[in-house]
Chain A
Amino acid sequence: MTAASATAPQQPQDADTGRANGPRSRGPRQSMLSRSAAMLIMGVFTLYFLTPIWWLLVSSTKTGGEITGSAPLWFTAESLTTFFGNLGNLFTYGDGLFGRWLVNSAIYAGLGALAGTVIAAMCGYALAKYEFRGREAIFNVVLSGVLVPATALALPLFLIFSEVNLTNTLWAVFLPSLVSPFGVYLARIYAAASVPGELLEAARLDGSGEVRTFFTVSTRLMAPALVTIFLFQFVAIWNNFFLPLIMLRDQALFPVTLGLYAWNSQISQIPELRPLVIVGALVSILPLIIAFLGLQRFWSSGLGAGGVK
């Protein structure tokens, strides 16, 4: 892993195999015992972590009646057709409201995290690689910002936005999501560790401007950190519930989480929403799971940089 090898030069051999050769003194039976115990613990908890997701997957292939009426953790004979039927209902219900929510979420979380990452990276980079007056003061302000959670800001933001009559707009959710003090913190740590000062000097000698050097050279060196910042800001925006809850009245502006929440609270009056909530929940977690799996290589090393410090 990059972070590990960057902070601590390891022996050329793989760390895992190096450790596996370890205890020769103890008998094979004892190590068999602890091996099975370890596998048992991990196996039991794998069930704990994956069963709810499995249940969601299976239930999304059932009709409202089948969710309670059939074997709960296995498919029915018509599962595939029911699943596509549910999907069709999901995207057509209420004039395609769900599709709109997905698009809104993509705007809030996707665009928001993208722009937010660039903004945070520039700031963290400047704090790490330039000496200027007020640098420590700015960093301290950023650090205290890390300790202020997004939910604590929702009401103050609502009060400000209602002052300028911008509640219940896309901007009310999008603009505040751009700010990520944790991203600045991570970018600063990573820029300090991965962008050598000599390289910047060399770029200066070549006559490259500071801003150009950042975008062409430094961002490449900071890539794992940038992916990490992007992913975690994406998740933070995707998960932020209080801000859209308090800002938005118009269903057409909802992100997908708030939309599903709204449907879920109407189930007792409109029971046919239940299968839609279930299949909608499945559809809404897929983008995140795909993003995390696809970008795993980057964030698992970037996460180390944040954890080590």
Chain B
Amino acid sequence: MTATSIPPAAPEAPAATRKNRSSGAQRRAVAIFIAPFAVLFLAFYAVPIVFAVVQSLLTVEREGTFGPPRQVFGGLTQYEQVFANTEFWQSVGRVLVFGAVQVPIMLGLALLFALLLDSPLLKGKKFFRLAFFAPYAVPGVIAAIMWGFLYSPSLSPFEAVTSNIDFLSAELVLWAIANIVTWVYVGYNMLIIYSSLLAIPTEIYEAARLDGASNIQIAWRIKIPLVIPAIILTAVFSIIGTLQLLAEPQTLRSFSSAISSSFTPNLAVYTTASVPNYNLAAAFSVVLALATFALSFVFLKSTQRKVTQ
């Protein structure tokens, strides 16, 4: 990117002096533009994260059984507890399995719909685009309430199905949640992939058509490789979202007894914080944030290498 403070097409002397005169004003403008975000980012991103790390290194001590509690430095005591906590690791394993199944299905569907929207095969594209995207306007809590009713054997309009299959049982409830998440986010991901399909110059297809390529070949050989960056973007956000699952399982708890208070990592954080055991909850949070960060980072790096090859 060329910097605008250096005028590209004005090499003559007056421009140089003007630049010197205005650079102070520009520096002041940059400060004005950046300061509000910087202050808020520090106060509500950076400081809380640092504070959570500090809290996770503390531990509560009492003098005797009934003495007043006070916080003392406990080193990695909380982290020892985190690593010894099987329920927490079960919840991590649960969301990883969830992500390994749900994210590919959701993105596969999103890609299929985007390719169909981009193909000459469909009529009423605008309608489909809006209909598929509409669930994105439904917040996770509301979506979980709606599907909770639809799943309940006693309330569902699809009694024939729900009286035979208990979607809210211990075996199936994870996949019942996967369905809710898929329902909400397929359309959103479809639109991101579709927008990047629209950005491909049509001349490329014309050339392929002249060479006798079919629609499927064009989709497979040209379109999909060109939208890989968009798919990676949606995959990273989906992975992050999966590890952070909270609203849907927490809401479904009033429909299903199969969801424990540590069903997902964030539910474990919330439950621990309500005890209240802030130090342990902070340690859970830090571990979860690091895991999320590491996973999306590794995913980004590994896919980048593949794309450049």
Which residues of A are in contact with B by a Cβ distance under 8 Å?
Answer: 1, 3-4, 7-11, 15-16, 18-20, 22-23, 25-26, 31, 34-35, 38-39, 41-42, 45-46, 48-50, 52-53, 55-56, 59, 67-68, 72-73, 119-120, 122-123, 125-132, 138, 141-142, 144-145, 147-149, 151-153, 155-160, 163, 175-176, 178-179, 181, 184, 192, 197-198, 200-201, 204, 209-211, 214, 235, 238-239, 241-242, 245-246, 257-258, 260-261, 264-265, 267-268, 277-278, 281, 284-285, 288-289, 291-293, 296, 300-301, 303-304, 306-309
Contact = CB atoms under 8 A, between A and B. Distances in A.
Given A38-B122, A148-B45, A285-B142, A131 B4 contact: yes
Interface size class of B (residues with CB under 8 A): 35 or more
B195 A304 contact: yes
B240 interface: yes
Contacts of A210: 25-26, 28-29
Interface of B: 1-10, 18, 22, 25-30, 32-34, 36-38, 40-41, 43-45, 47-49, 51-52, 55, 109, 112-113, 116, 119-123, 125, 128, 130-143, 145-150, 154-158, 183, 186-187, 191-193, 195-196, 198-203, 205, 209, 212, 214-215, 229-230, 233, 236, 240-241, 244, 246-247, 250-251, 253-254, 266, 269-270, 273, 278, 281-282, 285, 288-289, 292-293, 296-297
Contacts of B27: 132
Nearest to B148: A264
Given A10-B202, A52-B150, A53-B134, A307 B157 contact: no
B41 A181 contact: yes
A285 B138 contact: yes
Given A156-B285, A285-B137, A300-B195, A130 B3 contact: yes
A19 B202 contact: yes
B201 A8 contact: yes
Given A238-B139, A303-B195, A49 B214 contact: no
Given A131-B4, A132-B27, A151 B52 contact: no
A1 B195 contact: yes
Nearest to B43: A175
Contact of B52 (A52, A55, A159, A296): A159
A73 B240 contact: no
A55 B44 CA distance: 40
B183 A155 contact: no
A98 B136 CA distance: 22
B202 A284 contact: no
A134 to B, nearest CB: 10
B37 A184 contact: yes
Given A179-B37, A288-B137, A52 B146 contact: yes
Contacts of A257: 139, 141-142, 247
Nearest to B187: A49
A22 B113 contact: no
A159 B278 contact: yes
Contacts of B209: 22-23
14 contacts: A19-B119, A20-B120, A38-B116, A53-B138, A55-B146, A59-B149, A147-B296, A151-B266, A160-B48, A192-B1, A241-B247, A258-B141, A264-B254, A303-B191
